[in-house]
Structure 1
């Protein structure tokens, strides 16, 4: 009878592997940091969402800062690399800049968890060192791509730029103005596709107006060839 009871006893569920627990903690962090912000997300809340103990969370991540940094790194590495394709794109300059602008708008308005530039990277009350790390992990590659694109156009003579870092910031500022204003009003950028296209076209035109060579001035300063006999 005892032997039968042993056979009938339900098998105890196997314990989750350590890497499964770590993955559950990271998944919980990816959900909670954007919802609550860095300051209001506690390790207790993350443990509850991940269905592990608080001690397990600390066993994998020594502090909330380490967990946030690890989550950010995972997102940055998972984010697709659009920039090589944009750099190699064969099209007129206006079209290439518009393609970059649209990619920036998608990033600025994205709520997708696979994009490192979503709300997770904009939590309040972060130490300055972590803000610098967030820039390096998430946005530095965008800035580097933009500088490389602009430097190439300067070499081709399509643009006249004395300060590439400033020009890159100018471009980013123009392109992120629309989502910033929409966020302040509580509107969605994607709601009006025509408005977005019009904004991108106007912003690219404004940027080119600032950095394209002044053709009239160039022609005026060119030495005029005088026909012989005069």
Structure 2
């Protein structure tokens, strides 16, 4: 008996910590579903406790208020977004292939459930006065545009592109590549098939290059 007691007491805290962590994650997962579907104001904490498999007291143990839960959920979602510099890293190889890679990555992000949920939550937070209008643009769009524009500023000449306004060129690239795939999903329209999406991105990159390639005589 003397040896069994330390073993039991030694394992109990670890089980407790795991259970506590699991409850925290379950609350976030179910709150994400509820807030994005019903909105922040309509979300019910009693219902959330039921679907998360915890008590209402447990929710308020982890999050002191409904607003704090929303903030934690936003932090969790935005923390899973890829770093802008990583997303627009074109790597090595011919310019069309590098831009095609970026375009595919942008489309994948723009049509991901992560971004759709972030948009729904940020819009709900804005309606409740928790974030400023346009928070989705500020948090989920602007950083990637800024990274792409900075990349164009640094490498356009080396890549044979004639770009005098990197921000304008970035706006056009993002519109060509990601607008339709995102709007289809955001509006509930059928998404592009894999083959159609590949063709869409390829055509968008081709249009961008035709607009911004330097004429051969202009290159040094």
Normalised TM-score (structure 2)? 0.71
Report the count of equivalent residues.
200
2:53 aligned residue: 51
In the alignment, the residues of structure 2 paired with residue 42 and residue 147 of structure 1 have an alpha-carbon distance, to the nearest angstrom, of 42
Structure-to-structure mapping, 1:67-216, within 5 angstroms: 67-81=69-83, 83-84=85-86, 86-87=88-89, 89-111=91-113, 116-123=114-121, 124-127=123-126, 129-130=131-132, 133-156=135-158, 158-180=160-182, 182-183=184-185, 184=187, 186-189=189-192, 192-215=193-216
Q: Report how far residue 145 of structure 1 moved.
A: 2.8
Q: 1:31 aligns with which of 30, 33, 44?
A: 33
Cα gap change, 1:135/1:59 in structure 2, threshold over 3 Å: closer, same or farther?
farther
Cα gap change, 1:72/1:158 in structure 2, threshold over 3 Å: closer, same or farther?
farther
The answer for unaligned runs of 5 or more in structure 1 is 1-13, 223-230
In the alignment, the residues of structure 1 paired with residue 188 and residue 58 of structure 2 have an alpha-carbon distance, to the nearest angstrom, of 42
The answer for unaligned runs of 5 or more in structure 2 is 1-14
Q: Report how far residue 100 of structure 1 moved.
A: 0.9
Judge conservation of contact 2:153–2:166 (CA < 8 Å) in 1. yes
Judge conservation of contact 2:173–2:208 (CA < 8 Å) in 1. yes
Cα deviation digits, residues 33-81 of structure 1 (max 9, x gap): 3333445433333222223333432343344343223222223333455
In the alignment, the residues of structure 1 paired with residue 37 and residue 81 of structure 2 have an alpha-carbon distance, to the nearest angstrom, of 20
Q: Report how far residue 93 of structure 1 moved.
A: 1.4
Judge conservation of contact 2:176–2:204 (CA < 8 Å) in 1. yes
Q: Report how far residue 132 of structure 1 moved.
A: 5.2
Cα gap change, 1:18/1:197 in structure 2, threshold over 3 Å: closer, same or farther?
closer
Judge conservation of contact 1:104–1:176 (CA < 8 Å) in 2. yes
Judge conservation of contact 1:72–1:137 (CA < 8 Å) in 2. no
Q: Report how far residue 197 of structure 1 moved.
A: 1.8
1:41 aligned residue: 43
2:3 aligned residue: none
RMSD of the TM alignment (CA)? 3.3
